Amino acid sequence: MKKNIIGRLKEYERLNKCMREDTAQLVLVYGRRRVGKTFLINQYYNNSFDFKLTGSFNKPKPVQLQAFVSELNRRTRKKNTVPADWTQAFEMLRDYIDGRVSKEKIVVFFDEMPWLDTHKSGFLPAFEFFWNDYGSAIDNLVFIVCGSATSWLVDNIEHNKGGLFNRQTCKLFIEPFTLHETEEYLISKGIQWSRYDITECYMIMGGIPYYLSLLDKEMSYLQNIDYLFFRKKAELWDEFDHLYNTLFSHGENYIAVAEELSKKRIGLTRSEICDNTGISNNGALTKILKNLVDSGFVRENQFFGKDKKDTLYQLADYYSCFYFHYIKNHKERDEHYWSNTLDAHSRKSWAGLTFEQVCKDHIRQIKHKIGISGILSEQFSWFSRGNKELGIEGAQIDLLIDRKDRVINLCEIKFYGDEYVIDIDEDTKIRNRMESFRRNTKTRKAIQIIYITTYGVKKNIYSGIVQKQVTLDDLFEKMEV
């Protein structure tokens, strides 16, 4: 199998294991749109499949069945007629597989499978019957199911309560690149940028390979963002509409939730989402939130010391955050907007807030740097509105690490163009925050202050409050699979 691919080592190893098994394999591959699922499978198998079918978005059953038979005709070099329904189509696939007399693996790849399951198409029950009655008994069959509509795959394949219950033998959730993988990918494209610029680019695109593939090595980071986002009819100007409406039915409700979450950096509780969007607090909202979380668009932040009902939902998709802040209501912006606002206060505020998301997505690197990789721990958010009568000030902590060795790390996160300087005002603020946290939570654990910055904390008379430091270089560290 080919291995000229950035990252994805654990995915390659898992596919290797599937190919070594002597029983039938049903492989589920899912993840966010543009994250590189199809590319991974095509690269691993060198585009060499015994049968491959790709679903078409929003196309009726006859069009999908025509695509099926066209692929079958190419493989068999015959002129099979279009099947009447999916039951007949899978019977034809069964006959085709039976004709593949081989001791080698037979690899079947259904890409964008959710798009094949159109309204009243009968696709899912036909596939269930095919796999249970036939496919699962063919020891050398590897059937790969892939799609961007993560919610469909989770509900209908992974958590199927019918004929496919507990049937998948391998599950691959394809995640965006880390900072390390993003840097590695850019270098492979001949792009040599500072880690500061790579991180700002990551704050806009995330580690989404397709978006990164659009970057031009002949342009600077600033020029690339202007070209891809602010130029008239730029490649990523209208990506947002495709992103949500191709992944979720009733995409407008998902967009409404995402937009409200984009307005509050620490996130919103379920009840706050209802109040802000007007969506009823019922099963429909439960499904929306679950699907957004499963797809990686939203992160569930547990609130320290609170029940699960107080969970904070936070928009975690970088492109969506950037869209709501800089594109949605600003379609007449200058085509060189990003280059011309480098020192704008709003830009610095956006970068500081978004860097907190980057840190949460690289918590393994943070734990490794501060030496707690082997210690069981959990991450939380926390805030308090304070109590004037009790003399308790309000405070907010976007990231705290609660460790089983009876230590809590309170993380201060700063995205700054130089060494960060702690002055008397900040020293006072940090000490008040520690005291507020201790008094509100009544914790008896030791509290340590961690600073996560771009270039470290400048040593001065106030820097002693910092017990551990994490820099941008540490976030770029490659972690073992």
Q: Which amino acid is at 378?
A: E
Task: Tell me the helices (H) and strands (E) count for the chain, helix number first.
Answer: 20, 12
The model's pTM is 0.91
- Which mean pLDDT values do the consecutive 10-residue runs of the chain (481 residues) have? 73 94 93 92 94 94 97 94 96 94 88 93 94 92 91 78 67 94 96 97 96 96 95 85 81 92 89 93 90 90 76 93 89 86 89 94 96 93 73 78 96 95 96 90 94 97 96 94 64
Q: Which domains does the chain have, with CATH numbers?
A: 9-173 (3.40.50.300), 179-231+335-356 (no CATH), 241-326 (1.10.10.10), 362-475 (3.40.1350.10)
CB of 188 closer than 8 Å to CB of 168: no
341 CB contacts (<8 Å, ≥6 apart)?
347
Residue pair 164/190 in contact by the 8 Å Cβ criterion:
no
Tell me which H or E stretch contains 380: strand 377-384
Number of alpha carbons in the 13 Å side-chain half-sphere of residue 54: 8
Under 8 Å between Cβ of 370 and 294:
no
